[in-house]
Structure 1
Amino acid sequence: MVAFRNHRPSQLSALALNRRRMLALGGLAAGAGALGACGGNTGRGSADGVNLSQWYHQYGEPGTQQAAEKYAAAYEDATVTINWIPGDYDTALSSGLLAEKQGDYPDVFEGHLNRAMVESGQIVPLDDILTDVLDDYTPDDLARNTIDGKVYGVRMIDDPQFLYYRPSLLDGAGITPPATFEELMAAAAELTTGDVKGLFLGNDDSATKLFQPIVFSAGQTLLTEDNQIGFDKDTVIAGALQAKELHESSSLLIGAPTEAWDPSSIIQELCAIQWCGLWALPQIIEAHGEDIAVIPFPAFGSGTPTVFNGGWDTFVNAGSEHVDEAKAFVKWLWVDNEEFILDWNLSYGFHIPPRLSMRGGAEQLADGPAAEAVRISEEFGWAENPNWTPTMETAVDDMMTHIVLEGNDPSTEFDNAVATIQGELDGIFG
């Protein structure tokens, strides 16, 4: 599953938004173009001929598409067609949610909740199908799917992201696993040789990815419970300047053959430490055996380590001609079907089952680095906030890029980002 999933789809409908509201909620990518979906008619169908379309982004693990088709084929109350979307899933989904013709839009789709989806009337609440199991989800998984007291998404998988490293390399260099960002920088420098870089955080040089670890390691947050800005200037600028120092070293792997969501770089020994997700653990173990371990992302300043608990959720399109039938399918697959939920989480890479009652049976996660990944995700993990809009994320991404990669004035860049975020908040919450 793709890593660094703190981005959100641009899921806004023009139907329920005037221009000011659309801008306030983050906007919609215009001219989304063709969907490029790969379809598969996999359901057996029902007597009344209900057809449902279920959309997934293209997962990287072998067998995932076939698994989704297997689940659909087992459903007897509708014919479920799987659309497996390669490439830019966010743009394809934005376009699909604006479509009016059945077959062109998803009835059920995976994604990440954003307030815009609710404000524009694109999705329906799912409280009624979750009533009996709400206590079986983590508070974070409920919070990331809740807007104004209503639950709109059903959690499918939990995907913590952290740093993989090979203990033999650190032991050989006399390095202890880094607990602070300064220690990570020093370790990356020491582990860099002519053929191996010390650290791989992503081909964009990590400027944008580090903002949220900076905030959460300081014990701060993106938005407070009353939807005010939850981070301060001194903390962010100090962290950004540390990231700039790392960028200016020669310790980072840049221009790797694949992005950091793929474990190929640490498998092929292009780097000593790599930021990736739990899903990649089976591949890494196959390559390096017991010579692999995980740690949370080290703390900035005097903060604490952090783990981004990413993942995916399922939603029902309010524009579907079969909303009730779509909700029934979601309940059958992602609420009631323990066999398929565990299969999806544990058979194609490793993921943490979102249902607390099912985690005890996840033997694959019971020991070794998998168990450590689960532990640190519970101790240091943080989740998305559905009120944090794409425009807000773009503002901080631009700020980090301008400070870290372009050397712009940190104070000015921070003020610009905060002004954009505050404008968003004022537009949404008045």
Structure 2
Amino acid sequence: MSAMRNVNWDRRTVLRAAMGMAAAGGLAACGGNTGRSSGSGDSLVQYFHAYGEAGTEQAIKRYAKAYKDANITTQWITGNNFEQKLFAALLTKNAPDVFEFHPQIQLIKSGQVADLTDIIEPVKSDFNQADITSHTVDGKIYGVRMIDDPQFFFYRPSVFEKAKIEVPQTLEELIEAADKLTTSKVKGAFLGNDITTVQNPLIWSAGADTLTADNKPAFNTDAVAEGLTQLRGLFTSGNLLLDSPTDWWDPSAFTQGLTAIQWCGMWAMPAMIEALGDDIGVFPFPKVGSAGKQSVTNGGWSMFVNAKSENLEAAKAYVKWLWIDQKKYQEDWALSYGFHIPPRTSIAQSATKLKTGLPAEGVKLFNEFGHFDNIGWTQAMIAAVNDVMANSVRKNADPKAQLATAEKKVDAELKKLFG
């Protein structure tokens, strides 16, 4: 597979929601292509962000074309603000009928996404149950998981061996490894151009969490503050790649030798293997502080139905057809372009591409250290912690004060959502 291309937005670190942004400017440039140009039935519009793996856009349009009961138009949205474009469009009469996103409770509370329990219930037991949980509110399931995307650090065992470096188990060891591996041409580590992609793993690896089980802020701890201080040290050390031509979700910085260690996702494995053969390993975000535990982000994407669509039943029928009934397309989507873990247990169990070598190692880390989406952790909360990263790691503000400010913002959001 060729290297990822044509995407210049950070796929997993979500941006601020722009619920009030006018849609017109953002959507004029989106590439719209119909799945089918003629036929009977309803017309539906689906939104996808532009995946980096070659062949993905063609695949989604191919699936849409095979559907006979409606005309499907695909908006394949490039640029670095998919969330803003999506949220803006949802406020207009040009809103998509079907769209991909992550489970977030404000979409349910505002009546934006349809209850899909009736289409998922018959196959519920064949889904990864953590995915079902992350899409469930008050016993109802909103959204169908399409792919699970574990993220971890990639490295080259031969390079570690030559430098006499063991795989880092703690954040201190990661910082030491980055120092040893930095040369005039290669930086020791790459955590993404704005570093926000590691904010959740930093919290989890410090033994904390984004929210408690009863939806209270859980990230403002001394261990998280200490982790931020350590990251600030790494940021100023000169050992971190800070201005990569491609961001963390693209493997180019690693495959082209700009960095010795890169945070990235399982989706990039085929491109990495093509470039570097089997001299690649993965390890979780290391332990932060004495009470911490290694962690892996389980990102991914889910398909939602716009509850305000004029073609609500037709939209649900299409989502059921593609993401529940068509296992061959679900398998193709998960395994033929990048590598993703199929959320359907039966497909994951038969996925031979994930059974050996690097992908098998990724699946093992996913199962052992993975943290799934928390539906209560919303766009505004993500933005509050993005600010903590920007101010304490990039600008040297006091981490404890930054965490306290973020906690207030998150608490205010939670009160709005949960009372």
TM-score, normalised to structure 2's length? 0.93
For 1:4 and 1:90, how far apart are their aligned partners in 2? 10
TM-aligned CA distance change 1:307 to 1:235, over 3 Å: same
For 1:277 and 1:29, how far apart are their aligned partners in 2? 32
What CA RMSD, in Å, does the superposition of the two structures yield over aligned residues? 1.7
- Aligned identity (percent) is 47
For 1:138 and 1:42, how far apart are their aligned partners in 2? 29
Say which is worse superposed, 177-186 or 31-40, in terms of deviation: 31-40
Letter in 2 for 1:323: L
- Once the two structures are superposed, residues 71-97 of structure 1 have per-residue CA deviations (whole angstroms, 9 ceiling, x without a partner) of 011111111111111112112111221
Q: 2:336 aligns with which of 337, 347, 352?
A: 347
The reply to whether residue 41 of structure 1 matches residue 34 of structure 2 is: yes
| Structure 1 residue 362 displacement after superposition | 0.8
**Structure 2: runs of 5+ lacking an equivalent:** none
* Residue number in structure 2 paired with 1:379: 368
Say which is worse superposed, 392-401 or 320-329, in terms of deviation: 392-401
The reply to whether residue 66 of structure 1 matches residue 58 of structure 2 is: yes
Q: Report the 3-state secondary structure (helix = DSSP H, G, I; strand = E; otherwise coil) of the residue aligned with 2:72.
A: strand
Q: 2:151 aligns with which of 161, 164, 169?
A: 161
* Residue number in structure 2 paired with 1:247: 235
Deviation >3 Å, runs of 4+: 1-4, 44-47
Say which is worse superposed, 145-154 or 283-292, in terms of deviation: 145-154
Q: 2:72 aligns with which of 80, 86, 99?
A: 80
Q: 1:265 aligns with which of 249, 253, 265?
A: 253
Letter in 2 for 1:336: D
Q: 1:108 aligns with which of 92, 95, 98?
A: 98
* Residue number in structure 1 paired with 2:411: 422
Q: 2:268 aligns with which of 262, 267, 280?
A: 280
The reply to whether residue 7 of structure 1 matches residue 19 of structure 2 is: no
TM-aligned CA distance change 1:355 to 1:255, over 3 Å: same
- Once the two structures are superposed, residues 252-281 of structure 1 have per-residue CA deviations (whole angstroms, 9 ceiling, x without a partner) of 011111101110011111111111111111
Letter in 2 for 1:98: L
TM-aligned CA distance change 1:61 to 1:4, over 3 Å: closer
The answer to whether the 8 Å contact 1:201/1:274 transfers is: yes
| Structure 1 residue 192 displacement after superposition | 0.5
| Structure 1 residue 221 displacement after superposition | 1.6
- Once the two structures are superposed, residues 319-370 of structure 1 have per-residue CA deviations (whole angstroms, 9 ceiling, x without a partner) of 2111111111101100111100000011111111110111121111110010
* Residue number in structure 2 paired with 1:24: none
The reply to whether residue 179 of structure 1 matches residue 169 of structure 2 is: yes
For 1:8 and 1:148, how far apart are their aligned partners in 2? 27
- Once the two structures are superposed, residues 372-406 of structure 1 have per-residue CA deviations (whole angstroms, 9 ceiling, x without a partner) of 00110110000221211222222222122222222
* Residue number in structure 2 paired with 1:195: 185
Aligned counterparts, 1:396-415, within 5 A: 396-415=385-404
* Residue number in structure 2 paired with 1:310: 299
* Residue number in structure 2 paired with 1:367: 356
* Residue number in structure 2 paired with 1:233: 221
* Residue number in structure 2 paired with 1:92: 85
**Structure 1: runs of 5+ lacking an equivalent:** 11-26
Letter in 2 for 1:224: T
Q: Report the 3-state secondary structure (helix = DSSP H, G, I; strand = E; otherwise coil) of the residue aligned with 1:106.
A: coil
- Once the two structures are superposed, residues 6-29 of structure 1 have per-residue CA deviations (whole angstroms, 9 ceiling, x without a partner) of 52773xxxxxxxxxxxxxxxx724
For 2:389 and 2:34, how far apart are their aligned partners in 1? 44
TM-aligned CA distance change 1:332 to 1:361, over 3 Å: same
For 2:288 and 2:271, how far apart are their aligned partners in 1? 30
TM-score, normalised to structure 1's length? 0.91
Q: 1:145 aligns with which of 135, 139, 158?
A: 135
Q: Report the 3-state secondary structure (helix = DSSP H, G, I; strand = E; otherwise coil) of the residue aligned with 1:99.
A: coil
* Residue number in structure 2 paired with 1:322: 311
Count of residues in Structure 1 that have an aligned counterpart in Structure 2: 408
